[in-house]
Amino acid sequence: MDLKTLNGHHINGIGGSVGIVPAAADVQTSPMAKPVRTMASIEIPARGFSVERKSYPGGAVESAGASVHTVSLIVGPPVRVDSMRGGRHHIGLMRRGDMDIVPKGEAARWIDDGPIELLVMRIDSGFLNRVAQSLGLDPKTLELLPRIQARDPQIEHLGWALDAALSEGKDVEPMFVQGLGVALATRLIKEHSIVRHARVKRALSRRQTSDVCDHIDANLNERLTLARLAQVAGVSASHFKGLFKAAIGVPAHRYVVRRRVARAAELIQAGGLPLAKVAAATGFAHQSHLARAMRAVIGRTPGDLQREAR
């Protein structure tokens, strides 16, 4: 039923604000159909998510399919609907809280026996894919499943929250609507789609490992964070620890300490610098910190190395 206006809906505005937007243009309808009334509408232009409350009169409507995914929630009185969609024929009494999920591109024809009120939630593929990726899933394998007259308490709850947000109009909080959109996309992915987990790289590549190690050696006197090293490798901070350990054999923090100790040993054996300056040049907080790390890594102290260098 929600495909009545999908072909005319456009979600590619500029900016990240949320606001009232014009009603979407309707697709061509049969002579039985009457004009559609948009009661309220909110979208996040740059995010690919929008919601509208629409009122449709009874009649027949056809659509060749839309460029976005749609979830329609019945928010008004019950109405009997005869629908043909994706080769599936369904006749049923749609009640408040019932929903349809229409994947993008799916053609449909509806005949409503009477007026019907819908909360129409539209999700762009890019929006859905980004949420899938954040869940560790492969968006290339994501397939949203069609649903007719389905019930999902979580989606229904999100729908009522979005319906309430519509009443606030221009005063609605953008982050609130965006959060509800992400929650809706997450639910659709987990319960109403087919998708595979993304392949996780087992280790940093040779190039990535070389870049990270070179960066560490060039910045031993500075504070080296996992976030910065992950950025150098071009991976997320959450994945970097495991990938680095798989490539090098030790955790990143232990590798950094070893490189600091090795550089400090070189400076001590070369002579000419007080131990306090050696510690500062290799990223240790103070001379005692250097001594503890050196003893733990090579079993010797800075004093031992100084005596050997004389």
pLDDT band at 71 (very low <50, low <70, confident <90, very high): very high
Among 55-59, 64-68, 136-140, 281-285, name the most confident range: 281-285
Asked if 63 and 46 count as a contact pair (C-beta separation under 8 A), the reply is: no
State the Cα–Cα distance between residues 130 and 221, nearest whole angstrom.
38
> From residue 64, how far is each of 27, 28, 48 by CA, in Å?
9, 10, 21
The per-residue pLDDT for range 101-154, each reduced to its tens digit, is 999 999 888 899 999 999 999 999 999 999 998 888 888 999 999 999 999 999
Residue 297 contacts residue 261 (beta carbons within 8 Å) = yes
Residue 94 and residue 122 in contact, taking contact as beta carbons nearer than 8 Å: no
Domains and CATH numbers, the chain: 2-194 (2.60.120.10), 206-309 (1.10.10.60)
According to DSSP, residue 137 is labeled B
Instruction: Give the position of tokens 């040993």.
Output: 265
Q: What sections of 76-152 are H helices per DSSP? A: 125-134
Closest CA to 71 of 127, 118, 140: 118
Residues 6+ apart with CB under 8 A from 31: none
**pLDDT tens digits along 89-104:** 899 999 999 999 999 9
**pLDDT for 151-188, tens place per residue?**
999 999 999 999 998 887 767 777 888 889 999 999 99
